[in-house]
Amino acid sequence: MSVTTLFAISLGAILTNNFIFSQFLGCCPFLGVSKKIDTAVGMGLAVTFVMGLASAFCYGVNIILVKLGLDYMQTLAFILVIAGLVQFVEMFLKKSVPALYTALGVYLPLITTNCAVLGVALLNVQNNYNFIESVVYGITGGLGFLLAIFLFAAVREQLEFADNPKCFDGFPIALITAGLMALAFMGFSGLQVW
């Protein structure tokens, strides 16, 4: 493993294989929590943090499962680990950063059902990443999510004033916008590290 591999993984996770725009992981919070920039950034940071932690913990859990020959229980074990982690992050934030805790509100527990978090844990196993690669993939994947949700929230704040056909109000126009952004992100797909 070298720095180049880690760099390639990061570049892929943030730009070329962005979790939202090319893998469709984490679309629910992406569309649900992107009406204002502040909350969107808060959500992005929280997701990044949980994704990093989840990659690290699930790596350990997976080793134990494989040793016991229980690797078919991956999904079940991972989701429990993630639910526990989110609970832990919630308690930690409540005690030490109460301002951020109140700002995130109901979205914090919802990170458990964010498919980007479970997705990253499963993809790490699928791609045979080692510990450092897994953590890097988790964190940079989260950063990619943060970038996407931040850009999207900025566009969406302006969309409020757009004069679109009535039946496109709300979600449809947001989805079309996301589609156009995905098109822009496709421009990165030629990037390669060699």
Query: Least distance (Å) from another protein to the CB of residue 132?
Result: 22
Find how far residue 19's CA is from the centre of its chain.
Answer: 6
Q: Phi, psi at residue 58, to the nearest 5°? A: -65, -30
CB of 39 or CB of 177, closer to another protein: 177
CB of 28 or CB of 191, closer to another protein: 28
Which tokens is 174 given? 């947001």
Query: Least distance (Å) from another protein to the CB of residue 159?
Result: 13
CB of 1 or CB of 28, closer to another protein: 28
Q: E strands of the chain, at which residues?
A: none
CB of 28 or CB of 193, closer to another protein: 28
What residues line the site for another protein (CB under 8 A)? 21-28, 31, 72-76, 79-80, 83, 112-115, 118-119, 122-123, 126, 165-176, 178-180, 182-183, 186
Q: Say if residues 121 and 82 touch (Cβ distance below 8 Å).
A: yes
CB of 118 or CB of 136, closer to another protein: 118
Query: Least distance (Å) from another protein to the CB of residue 47?
Result: 13
Query: Least distance (Å) from another protein to the CB of residue 114?
Result: 7
Q: Say if residues 14 and 143 touch (Cβ distance below 8 Å).
A: yes
Which tokens is 78 given? 């991972």
Helices (H) and strands (E) in the chain, counts: 9, 0
Query: Least distance (Å) from another protein to the CB of residue 3?
Result: 27
- Residues 56 and 189: their CA atoms lie apart, in Å, by 28
